[in-house]
Homo-oligomer: A and B are copies of this chain.
Amino acid sequence: MTDAAPHRPEDTYSYLGPAGTFTEAALKQVPEAAGKTWRSVNNVGEALADVTSGRSIAAVIAIENSIEGGVSATQDALATVPGLRIIGEYLVPVNFVLVARHGTALADVRTVNAHPVAYAQSRGWLERHLPEHGHIPASSNVQSAASLFEPDNTADAAVAPPGITDHHDVTVLARDIGDNPNAVTRFVLVSRSRALPEPTGADKTSLIVELPSDEPGALLAMLEQFSTRGVNLSLLESRPIGDALGRYRFVVDLDGHVADERVADALLGLRRTSPNVIFLGSYPRADQREIEYHAKYDDEIFIEARDWLRGLLSGEPD
């Protein structure tokens, strides 16, 4: 877990650091990364650049938060950086502690360092317990605590992840200060690998789909590609394409693996009707919940139909 060893890209995993972030907590869940080099980077763009350039074999990035929604920077990067594939998914419960330099009491706190997202998610607690506090935005959930020890620091406390005490010599003024106790962030492991993870029966497939801009019913038509094959969506988010107001692409997570016939057929339908479909990968779900679907969408139903059609076309007797 250090960069001191000679750099071996195939043994390196990039993540949004520094050590102690929620992203690092996600990386700890990746079995194949255990004992390898973990490379801390400053933002999603750097993490993905490591992967595309071959500097790392894979990167862990946050893709969705149960409170904040989709992580726009990740969604937009996956839509525009070619050659990436999601090969794993991990869930990290999100909660926060309020920390300070030793000797500081809660009553002493006037100003709080916090990443804007962490601040938003613990604001209720802060307003109840520190109604007069000021906020200084930090560039990460770990930097907020690290800054307490910097020369130009003016804050008295910091909002940080629970694991912060492993990395910084701070005292914990309060635990579980997040406003929503069930908050969770979803992370994905991204690589350049073309090989698909094996279907497990509890898989997810991620896509980015652009809609034809001149057709009013285009979104409806896209959704029908899924519904007519019994494919359920667990995520559908719009993102602006960015060239003009009113033009969107959609980030889609669906239940199932591209090796499932119903998913493959839905992808064919999408590919035909969308100006641009990006396949981001099929991979095991973090929650390992088995996909349920109606028996009429079983693989054998699709295979039997193709056999029947082949018979018609070849002129075989029924």
Contacts and interface: CB of A to CB of B under 8 A. Distances in A.
Interface of A: 64-69, 72-73, 82-83, 91, 116, 120, 135, 137-139, 152, 154, 180, 182, 184, 186, 194-196, 216-217, 219-221, 223-225, 227-228, 232-240, 242-246, 248, 258-259, 264, 267-269, 271-273, 279, 296-297, 301-302, 304-306, 308-309, 312-313, 315-318
B228 A66 contact: no
B245 A312 contact: no
A261 B109 CA distance: 57
Given A227-B220, A272-B301, A240 B312 contact: no
A238 B240 contact: no
Contacts of A220: 220, 223-224, 227
Nearest to A194: B315
Given A232-B216, A272-B305, A318 B69 contact: no
Mostly, the A contact residues are mixed
Number of this chain's copies in the assembly equals: 4
Given A223-B219, A243-B182, A268-B306, A313 B196 contact: yes
Given A139-B137, A221-B228, A264 B313 contact: yes
Contact of A73 (B120, B234, B246): B120
Contact of A69 (B83, B137, B239): B239
24 contacts: A66-B243, A67-B240, A69-B238, A82-B318, A116-B137, A135-B139, A137-B137, A137-B139, A180-B242, A182-B243, A184-B245, A194-B317, A195-B315, A217-B227, A219-B233, A224-B228, A228-B228, A234-B246, A236-B238, A237-B237, A238-B238, A272-B296, A272-B302, A273-B296
Given A66-B243, A236-B238, 7 more contacts: A65-B240, A116-B137, A196-B313, A220-B227, A221-B228, A223-B223, A273-B296
